[in-house]
Structure 1
């Protein structure tokens, strides 16, 4: 046991669950939060503290942080893994679904972060890890609202890093590309269901759903290990991409002209539709 305490949100599946398990194995006292408490019973059996958490509810966030502080003397790490995505053409995604992505990915994330900051400032140390996406630095069709929320998350993360650095707190952004989780299948099922049959974008939606998630290489366990390395680095980097392909996509998005990047994406989507 290393006597350090870590909070992990979105811990009922995917990156959040894998990270909670990995940090626990490394000796952290882990408090795992998620809406689906029944999906965290395996974490409880391993000795991880599990608690119901809906990051879009300020009351739920407060109750969770109060629970952590009642059972631990510190909050050394928070991994903000809770996330929501509604894929689809911007014209087709309902306003309420667009808003929900910001409620979870930005406002909810920042609310629980606000609640742990006084403890981190008092102890003059802490690591805030925000799970973003390569979409936080790029764009592509059919993911506009999701990417917009991740762009916003990266903006607030960069600002927060500047504000809290003098208190000994690091803010770290993790930018996966494709990860082998249940999210991919759920996202594609929802994409097909919420796109009208007569949508002007139905052809690219069907092509995207059929082939866009082939060949994902990153696993949640690999990302959990990366997060552990980041929070234990003497001087953690601002951003981490888990794979070579993710690094290349970010470099392309940042180095190519907008026109050149557009052409690259158009080429990929034309290839999908022609299959």
Structure 2
């Protein structure tokens, strides 16, 4: 009733009634795909550490009895989120390809598709449908959170390096929005000087082309304790992705995914 065009056409907004009719289509798992491409490029083709046949077998069996190969994939190949240009460029490629594929297409009802790179909390259930990946990710585990965030635990060079990597992604192409999640230890933001550093980092990130960033400032230990004693943490609010929620009301798989995110300052 409140959307222009629907009353005039006699159609609901989900059936093509809106005058300005857009449909957001989100790309989920950009970091997983980018890190996988980097691992294949470096370890299979450039360095020859892994044969294509061994990699395919490991992925089909979810790395069963092949933890050594999985550790090589995780620890030897450079990862998105550490200001390593050759790793970041693979994620840039993935983002560009996705957005270009979506742009210009329309829904069956005529809505114009708008590409986005965010997942809210869908990276956890969607991850259950995805097999093992060359990045070292196990089958069924959550995909990367936030859309353009580095993969959990893979951004090991500090928050400024993570910001520089994410700023390389052409975020303006994802016109339906992006999510970049960061998690800080509270001890990193105790003083006014510490908080000013965060302000400066945010300003520089946006000056480099970033369009979105959001934070959780808490410890993994506190979240784990909230899982054990939910009645004591009823008012604990966390930033999930594009929304905030009471932590104890979230599905346990989503709680675990938030806990697993890289904590800057640990």
**Which structure has greater helix proportion?**
1
Point out the structure with max Rg over C-alpha.
Answer: 2
TM-score range, shorter chain: 0.3 to 0.5
Give the TM-score, by structure 1 length.
0.35
Give the TM-score, by structure 2 length.
0.36
